[in-house]
Structure 1
Amino acid sequence: MKLQRNGRTKALAIGAVALVSSLSLAACGSDNNNSTSSNSTASGSASQAAAIACASKQANLLAAGSTAQGNAIDVWKNAYGAACSGTTLNYNGVGSGAGVAQFNQGKVAFAGTDFALKPADVDASKAVCTGGGQAIDLPMVAGLVSIVYNVDGVSHLTLDGPTTAKIFNGAITKWNDPAIAALNPGVTLPDTAITTFHRSDDSGTSYNLTSYFAKTSNGAWTAAPSKTWAGQGGQSAAGSAGVASQIKATKGSIGYVELSYAQINNLSSASISTGASKAVDPTAANAAITLGNSTVVGTGNDLALQLDYGTKAENAYPIVLVTYEVACDKGNNPATLDSLKSFLNYTISDAGQQAIATKGYVPLPSAISTKVKAAIGNLA
Structure 2
Amino acid sequence: MNIKRHGAATVGIVAAGALLLAACGSNNNTGSGGSSSGPSGSQVNVACGGKQNLTGEGSTAQKAAMDEFIAAYGQKCSGQQFAYNATGSGAGVKQFTGAKVDIGGSDSPLDPTKGEPAAAAKRCGGNPAWDIPMVFGPVAVSYKLSGVTDLTLTPDVTAKIFSGAIKTWNDPAIKKINPSANLPSTPITVIYRSDQSGTTDNFQKYLGAAAPSSWTKGAGKTFAGGVGEGKEKSAGVADALSTAEGSIGYIEWSYAQSKKLSVAKIDSGAGPVALSTDSVSKAIDSVQVKAGSAPNDLVLDTKALYASKAAGVYPLVLGTYEIVCSKGYDADTAKAVKAFLTVAATDGQQNLTQDGYVPLPTSFQTKVLAAINAIS
For normalisation by structure 1, the TM-score amounts to 0.85
Mapped contact 1:96–1:113 kept (Cα < 8 A): yes
Equivalent of residue 295 in structure 2, options 281, 286, 300: 300
Change over 3 Å in CA distance of 1:51–1:243 after alignment to 2? farther
The answer on whether the counterparts of 2:11 and 2:82 sit within 8 Å (CA) in structure 1 is no
Aligned residues with identical type, % of pairs: 42
Quick one: which of 337, 341, 361 aligns to 1:340?
A: 337
- Say if 1:54 and 1:339, in contact at 8 Å, map to a contact too: no
In the alignment, is the contact (CA less than 8 A) between 2:57 and 2:105 conserved in 1?
yes
- Contact 1:103-1:110 at 8 Å conserved across structures: yes
Cα displacement (A) at 1:180: 0.6
Q: Is the aligned partner of 1:325 residue 2:322?
A: yes
Residue 79 of structure 2 is matched in structure 1 by 86
Structure 1 gap ranges (5+): 1-18, 27-46
Give the one of 366, 370, 379 matched to 2:366.
Answer: 370
Match of 1:148, SS?
A: strand
Show the 5 A alignment for 1:232-247: 232-247=226-241
Work out which structure has the larger RCO, using CA pairs closer than 8 Å and 6 or more positions apart in sequence. 2
Higher fraction of strand: 2
- Are the aligned partners of 1:294 and 1:305 in contact in 2 as well (CA < 8 Å)? yes
Structure 1 residue 114: Cα displacement: 0.7
Q: Work out whether 1:280 is the aligned partner of 2:270.
A: no
How many Å separate the matches in 1 of 2:370 and 2:44? 17
Answer whether contact 1:142 1:323 (CA < 8 A) is retained.
yes
CA deviations on 1:19-52 (whole Å, 9 max, x unpaired) are 9x952499xxxxxxxxxxxxxxxxxxxx989978
The aligned residue for residue 314 of structure 1 is 311
Does the 8 Å CA contact 1:49/1:80 hold for their aligned counterparts?
no
Q: What is the CA–CA distance in structure 2 between the aligned matches of 1:251 and 1:89, rounded to whole Å? A: 40
Paired residue for 2:156? Answer: 162
Correspondence list, 1:346-361, <5 A = 346-349=343-346, 351-361=347-357
Aligned counterparts, 1:199-278, within 5 A:
199-276=193-270, 278=271
**Counterpart-to-counterpart distance in 2, 1:87 and 1:187:** 54
Q: Distance in 1 between matches of 2:56 and 2:367?
A: 22
Q: Does residue 56 of structure 1 match 2:44?
A: no
Letter of the structure 1 residue corresponding to residue 127 of structure 2: G
- The answer to whether 1:23 aligns with 2:10 is yes
- AA aligned to 2:294 is T
Instruction: For residue 218 of structure 2, give the secondary structure of its aligned residue in structure 1.
Output: coil
Aligned to 1:141: 135
Query: Structure 1 residues 251 and 301, CA, compared in 2 at 3 Å: closer, same or farther?
Result: same
In structure 2, the partner of 1:39 is none
Q: Does 2:109 align with 1:116?
A: yes
User: Which 5+ residue runs of structure 2 have no aligned equivalent?
Assistant: 1-5, 14-39
Q: Higher mean Cα deviation, 229-238 or 118-127?
A: 118-127
In structure 2, the CA distance between the partners of 1:286 and 1:320, relative to structure 1 (3 Å rule), is same
Q: Give the Å deviation of 1:141.
A: 0.1
1:97 aligns with 2:90: yes
Secondary structure at the aligned position of 1:335 is classed as helix
State the shift of 1:53 in Å. 3.0
The structural deviation recorded for 1:375 is 0.7
Asked whether the 8 Å contact 2:9–2:85 carries over to 1, the reply is no
TM-score, normalized by length of structure 2?
0.86
Query: Which stretch shows the higher mean deviation, 351-360 or 100-109?
Result: 351-360
C-alpha deviation, 1:293, in angstroms: 0.7
Aligned mates of 1:305, 1:216 — CA distance in 2: 17
Residue 86 of structure 1 aligns with an amino acid whose one-letter code is: G
| Cα distance between partner residues in 1 of 2:328 and 2:51 | 18
In the TM superposition, residue 112 of structure 1 has moved relative to its aligned partner by 0.8
Amino acid across the alignment from 1:144: P
Residues of 2 paired with 1:361 and 1:145: CA distance?
A: 10
Distance (Å, rounded) in 2 between the aligned partners of 1:146 and 1:346: 28
